[in-house]
Amino acid sequence: MTLDREGTEGMDGTSSSARMPGGTSGDHAVSQPARIISVGGGKGGVGKSFVLANMATCLARAGYRVIAVDADLEGANLHTCLGAPTPTASLADFVAQREDDLGKLVFDTPIPGVRMIAGTHANLSEAQPTHLRRVRLMRGLRRLQADFVLLDLGAGVHSAVLDYFLVADEGLVVVSPEPTSLENAYTFLRAAFYRRMRLAMVGHGVRKLVTTAMDQRNESGLRTPLDLLREIESLDGADGARFVQTMREFRPRIVVNNVRTAEDIKLGFAMSSVCRKYFGIDAEYLGYVNQDEDVRLSIAAKTPLVEFRPKSDAAIYLERIARKVAAGRSLSSDKSSTSPVQSRAQSPIQPPIQSTTHTKHTNSPGSGRRF
Amino acid sequence: MKALDEQDHYEVLEVQPGAGYEEIERAYRLTRDAYSDGAMGLYSVFSNEDAAVIRGRIDEAYRVLSDPGDRERYDAEVGIKRQEPITPMAAARDFTDASISDREEYEREARVAAAEVATAVEVIEDVDADIDEENQSFDGAALRRSRMRRGVELDQISDVTKVTVKYLRYIEDEAFDRLPAEVYVRGFVSAYARAIGLDARRVANTYMERVEAARAPSKRTSRSASAY
């Protein structure tokens, strides 16, 4: 595995200081960089775009500037989830180097406060960007004028998909309660884990340690990624410990979509536990969304559910997830109590005010779910 | 970072050394569940044999940590110091020892099942989860949410309340035209609410307003004014 110089710098840098909220990145020290949240999960059809479109809508309602980005160039459909027409310009233009300014690819959606970069492919043969282009893309996304940039990832474990997932400030894994989805989600997490490991190896002098650990695989009975990390940790105190720490900062969060039973709900806890016992990483269970006829109808209506049926169960669960994603970001107080109807009429994009931080305890009936 | 065979009992159950009895009990149920034979959450990662090994460790951890004496000895052995003594879990065990009727047994099981998921799910839903239950007027969807949050299925409620699943579902779906006379509906809704630990009177009152409004269209006012 070789990495070009630029890639090394970009990937390694994001795993430390640039990942911190409020961290500044060189030439961009004045305004806070956009927080990038990627939504993946390995399998197609589990509701990644659906969850993302609704999360974007909720965050925008709460007063954040949101840009949704369809990074699923091979199966782009996020624009449809947001009710936007088939776009003329898309991320494919950036990938194919027809456009270098990501800002020029951003356009408004019918949802107030949500803008997007579409992902319609011009040519499948160029659907995945080169590594260098990916690094440029991630930098460009961070500089967009937004509080949140939500990245819709494609299915599968292509290195581009893994990089988007790893370089984001936060990675969400969406699963639905079926073995096929779990299998793909774990495959995805495993691939992401090892890719992160390779990228982290460049920054620390542990490549040799990893190789040694891998070589001793049979003797020492390494079976899980956790075993491997342990082995590395034991080989060399300082380097090993630092490396393991970097790996432990890999904290995907889990969303279970399409739940029907209490058993399904508990699946998220099981996954979280498996991540701890198998990978040795913390994967928080962020929330679940129930199976709901309204979901189907909202997709048919090309409108995010939280707009289409704001009072439905699933919409309420989606808002809870968005609220957790937003936690830590500042929010203007006047926005926090607006109803969706009011926010439609308002100017969709207003910068959040730094001084006020919303807390859950200020919820009152009627406004309680609107952040 | 340790492999399973090196983890202490707290790490196996994924709780802090200061965990109280209830927390340990809950963690045990959740982990035991997660690593049950053929559990979906393990698929493609842990084999049945792996799961059995992990279950063995979970059982062992629970056996030690659920017994105040054993836990104290274990803590001393591995060098865990605690500021406050752990409260023994008298209530739960005494309850199982008492002779109780079938019906109480049902209710207890429903409550245990509910508490199991409810306490766990609190982790992901925080404070706001209960806000609707405190402030809200209850419609069918709110009832379903409260039920789901507790991890209770309709047939469990039916077991406890003796109201058929069909009617319970009509209540949640607000299929008012399929429900019987209001006096019965009130009884069903009260029983439903009691079964999942809600204030039966308040739930029934607010729900019946909706029923009445729907059945007498001229009086329809409460729907648009309901709290959410």
* Closest CB from B30, B54, B148 relative to A269: B30
Q: What is the mean pLDDT of residues A253-265?
A: 90
The predicted structure's pLDDT at residue B133: 56
* Closest CB from A226, A268, A312 relative to B3: A226
Cα separation, A132 vs A40, whole angstroms: 21
Q: Which amino acid is at B210?
A: R
The alpha carbon of residue B221 is apart from the nearest alpha carbon of chain A, in Å, by 16
- C-alpha angle A17/A22/A27, rounded to 5°? 70
Q: What is the pLDDT of residues A46-64, one digit of tens each?
A: 999 999 999 999 999 999 9
- With CA atoms as reference, report the closest residue to A203 among A8, A39, A354: A8
Mean pLDDT of chain A: 78
Q: Is the dihedral of CA A212, A216, A217, A220 positive or negative?
A: negative
Asked if A169 and A25 count as a contact pair (C-beta separation under 8 A), the reply is: no
Interface mutation target, options A269, A278, A282, A323, chain B, most CBs of B under 10 Å = A269
Spell out which residues of chain A touch residue B123, defining contact as CB-CB under 8 Å. Answer: 285
The predicted structure's pLDDT at residue A156: 86
A296 occurs within a structural domain: yes
Cβ neighbours for B50, distance < 8 A, ≥ 6 positions apart = B42
Of the given ranges (A83-92, A219-228, B40-49), which has the lowest mean pLDDT?
A219-228
The predicted structure's pLDDT at residue A177: 95
B15 CA to centre of own chain = 19
A14 CA to centre of own chain = 14
DSSP-based three-state secondary structure for A288: strand
SS3 content of chain A, % helix, strand, coil (to 5): 50, 10, 40
Q: Which of B23-30's residues contact partners 24+ apart within 8 Å by CB, and which partners?
A: B24/B62, B24/B65, B24/B66, B25/B66, B25/B89, B25/B92, B26/B115, B26/B116, B26/B119, B26/B120, B28/B58, B28/B61, B28/B62, B28/B66, B29/B116, B30/A266, B30/A269, B30/A273, B30/B116, B30/B120
CB contact under 8 A, B124 and A233: no
The alpha carbon of residue A66 is apart from the nearest alpha carbon of chain B, in Å, by 24
- The percent of residues in chain A predicted with pLDDT above 70, rounded, is 73
Length of chain A: 371
CA dihedral A139, A142, A143, A149 (to 10 degrees): 140
Indicate if the pLDDT at residue A366 is higher than 50: no
A122 occurs within a structural domain: yes
CA dihedral B58, B59, B65, B66 (to 10 degrees): 130
Domains of chain B: 4-91 (1.10.287.110), 109-225 (1.10.260.40)
Spell out which residues of chain A touch residue B150, defining contact as CB-CB under 8 Å. Answer: 262
Indicate if the pLDDT at residue B215 is higher than 90: no
Interface mutation target, options B15, B33, B40, chain A, most CBs of A under 10 Å = B40
A367 occurs within a structural domain: no
Q: What is the pLDDT of residues A319-350, one digit of tens each?
A: 989 998 998 676 433 333 333 333 333 333 33
CB contact under 8 A, A320 and B125: yes
CB contact under 8 A, A179 and B44: yes
Cβ neighbours for A25, distance < 8 A, ≥ 6 positions apart = A13, A18, A33, A142
CB contact under 8 A, A365 and B44: no
Q: Is the dihedral of CA A221, A226, A228, A232 positive or negative?
A: negative
CB contact under 8 A, A363 and B128: yes
Using an 8 Å CB-CB cutoff, list residues of chain B that contact chain A: 1-4, 14, 30-31, 33-35, 39-46, 54, 113, 117, 120-121, 123-128, 131-132, 135-136, 141, 144-145, 148, 150-153, 227-228
Question: What is the number of domains present in chain A?
Answer: 1
A236 occurs within a structural domain: no
A267 occurs within a structural domain: no
Beta bridge partners of A38: A151, A171
Global ipTM: 0.72
A52 occurs within a structural domain: yes
- Show the tokens assigned to A306: 């939280």
* Closest CB from A229, A265, A320 relative to B1: A229
A146 occurs within a structural domain: yes
Indicate if the pLDDT at residue A100 is higher than 80: yes
Higher pLDDT, A145 or B111: A145
In terms of residue numbers, what domain contains A74? 33-175+292-362
- Residue A297, CA distances (Å) to A86, A176, A253, A304, A313 in order: 20, 19, 27, 10, 14
- With CA atoms as reference, report the closest residue to A56 among A318, A366, A245, A292: A318
A250 CA to centre of own chain = 12
* Closest CB from A187, A360, A366 relative to B228: A366
Of the given ranges (A82-96, A124-138, A150-164, B5-19), which has the lowest mean pLDDT?
A124-138
CA dihedral A292, A293, A296, A300 (to 10 degrees): -140
B216 CA to centre of own chain = 36
The predicted structure's pLDDT at residue A242: 80
CB contact under 8 A, B45 and A186: yes
Task: Report, in angstroms and rounded to the nearest whole number, the Rg of chain A calculated over CA atoms.
Answer: 20
- Show the tokens assigned to A6: 């630029």
- With CA atoms as reference, report the closest residue to B172 among B150, B149, B200, B142: B142
Q: Which amino acid is at B145?
A: R
Indicate if the pLDDT at residue B129 is higher than 60: no
CB contact under 8 A, B41 and A179: no
What's the CATH code of the domain at A104? 3.40.50.300
